[in-house]
Amino acid sequence: MKVAIAHNNLPKTLTVVSRLRKLLHQYRLPIDQKYPDVVITVGGDGTFISAVHRYLDQIDSVRFIGVHTGHLGFYTDWRNFDIDKMVQVLAREQAETVDYPLLEVKFYQADGSIETRLAVNESTVKRMSQTLEADVFIERTLFENFRGDGLCIATPLGSTAYSKSLGGAVIQPDLRVLQMTEIASINNQVFRTLAAPMVIAPEEWITVKFKPAQDLVLTIDGKLVPAAGVNQISYRISTHRIQFDRFGHHHFWTRVQDSFIGMPHASI
């Protein structure tokens, strides 16, 4: 089993990484930053997302494990003080592997070219200085004429991120669905939108058509994407999925509770 380590450069993280390297050597788990079987991320959710994008060309064969060195994160099963146990489990036991859907995003340009990207959390389309005017299609059927600041299309994993702050639902991550959430839509006697989050089945897709604009802002997982000439975007569930090594102590709704409610755990 070959292991890669992705991390931020905070002092606390670097201390954990140093210990992690020694443990991997102790258990004879070779480090291979180029072609790993497992990627261990040390840091926060941002570190994790960056690591996934770094290994997107190997997404079907690589698995991810997250170690958090700050506050509780959604993509991190282990805390910094647990890494001895984590490496022991990794070396001696066959972890359960779970996989979750990614978002496929196709950017269509006026010259006919198409660029395809993958998102872990979400993709957004906005305009900086003016209202975004766009036609929204579900499959090939026109659903609404959108007017507002923009649109956010998220995966179930991304439902606890930007989408939630826009009023989107929190979705169990093993459901293969998309969620579209409007960003400050305009609703009056002239313009009407659904003005509610929409959850889309995996067999369907969302297409957003608009006129190219100089102030168009496109993002994938919070990172800017070149927007020049883009006049249409298509979103659907990807055939590629992100794989996690799960060790039996991860529970999605406990993580949601810890992050947003903070109540003590109890069982019935």
Domain that holds residue 20: 3-95+247-260
The model carries a pTM of 0.90
Cβ-contact 242, 102 below 8 angstroms: yes
| CATH for 209 | 2.60.200.30
Q: Which of 68-72, 101-105, 208-212 has the lowest mean pLDDT?
A: 68-72
**47-58 per-position pLDDT tens digit:** 999 999 999 999
CATH number of residue 37's parent domain: 3.40.50.10330
Condensed to tens digits (0 to 9), the pLDDT of residues 140-198 reads 999 999 999 999 999 999 999 999 999 999 999 889 999 999 999 988 877 888 889 99
In the set 45, 77, 149, 221, the catalytic residue is 45
Can 45 be counted among the known catalytic residues? yes
- Does 137 share its domain with 90? no
pLDDT tens digits, one per residue of 91-146: 987 677 889 999 999 999 989 999 999 999 999 999 988 899 999 999 999 999 99
Instruction: Please tell me whether residues 203 and 252 are part of one structural domain.
Output: no
- Say what percent of the chain tops pLDDT 70: 95
pLDDT of residue 62: 96
The mean pLDDT of 211-227, rounded to a whole number, is: 93
Q: Strand ranges (DSSP E) for the chain?
A: 3-7, 38-43, 63-68, 78-79, 96-109, 114-119, 122-127, 132-138, 141-154, 178-185, 198-200, 206-209, 216-220, 223-225, 230-246
> How many domains would you assign to the chain?
2
